[in-house]
Amino acid sequence: MSTIRVIGVGNLFRGDDAAGRIVARELASRIPSDASVSITESSGEAGELMESFDGVDCVLLADAIEANAEPGRVFRFDASDTPLPAPEFACSTHALGLSESIELARALERLPSVVIVYGIQGESFEHGKEISPAVRRGIAETMERILGDIGIL
């Protein structure tokens, strides 16, 4: 049985940038903790993210993105063999962003064999803002899709 890790990425204090972390937080209460599925949150710092890749066969990541789409829309990317599309993930609020961390891990041969990234289009990334209602819906959709993935993988 393959080991899976769900990683919610983001900044809890920058409005919709918290989306990925809320996905992880809310999934934690719905998925029984066992040896094959683990759930973690990450600020998106490259070293920390890369460590969260270690020791599992599959990672499912969730992060807020800016893809010039309607807020709350969910995109699913398979980064197992190819980099994430640049524009959507380029404007990370983190020093080395999610896509850089994945590519760095790939270059260092530390990337799990399956890497799925859910990007939730954000509405506002302002400091101190609440999650917007549209992104709330995106969070719920992402959770369902991740649960589906876990069932399949």
Partner 1 sequence: MPRHFGEKARTMSDESVPHPTPENSRRISVDYLARVEGEGAMHVWTRDGVVEDVKLKIFEPPRFFEAFLRQRSFTEAPDITARICGICPVAYQMSACHAMERAAGVKVEGPLRELRRLLYCGEWLESHGLHVFMLHAPDFLGYESGIAMAADHRPLVEMGLRLKKLGNTIGSLLGGREIHPVNIKVGGFYKVPRQRDLDSLREELKWGADASEKTARWAADLPFPDFEQDYEFVSLSHPGEYPMNEGRLVSNRGLDIDVANYEDHFEEQHAPYTNALHSVKKGSDSYFVGPMARFALNFDRLTDRCRSVARECGLDGICRNPFQSIIVRSIEMLYACEEALRVIEQYERPDRPAIDVDPSGSRGWGLTEAPRGSLFHRYDIDDDGLITSAKIVPPTSQNQLRIEKDLREFVPRYLELPDDKLQWHCEQAIRNYDPCISCATHFLKLERIDATS
Residues that bind partner 1 (CB under 8 A): 13, 43, 45-48, 50-51, 66, 68, 86-87, 90-91, 93-96, 100, 103-104, 107-108, 127
Closer CB to partner 1, residue 47 or residue 148?
47
Closer CB to partner 1, residue 13 or residue 76?
13
| Shortest Cβ 108–partner 1 spacing (Å) | 6
Query: Please, is 104 exposed, middle or buried when counting C-beta atoms within 10 Å of its C-beta (0-12, 13-18, 19+)?
Result: middle
| Shortest Cβ 152–partner 1 spacing (Å) | 30
DSSP letter assigned to residue 130: P
Query: Which residues touch 98 (CB under 8 Å, ≥6 apart)?
Result: 9, 44, 49, 61, 63, 84, 89, 92, 117
| Shortest Cβ 150–partner 1 spacing (Å) | 28
Closer CB to partner 1, residue 46 or residue 58?
46
Closer CB to partner 1, residue 42 or residue 142?
42
| Shortest Cβ 20–partner 1 spacing (Å) | 15
The Cα 138–Cα 153 span in angstroms is 22
The Cα 48–Cα 110 span in angstroms is 13
| Six token digits for residue 101 | 């961390």
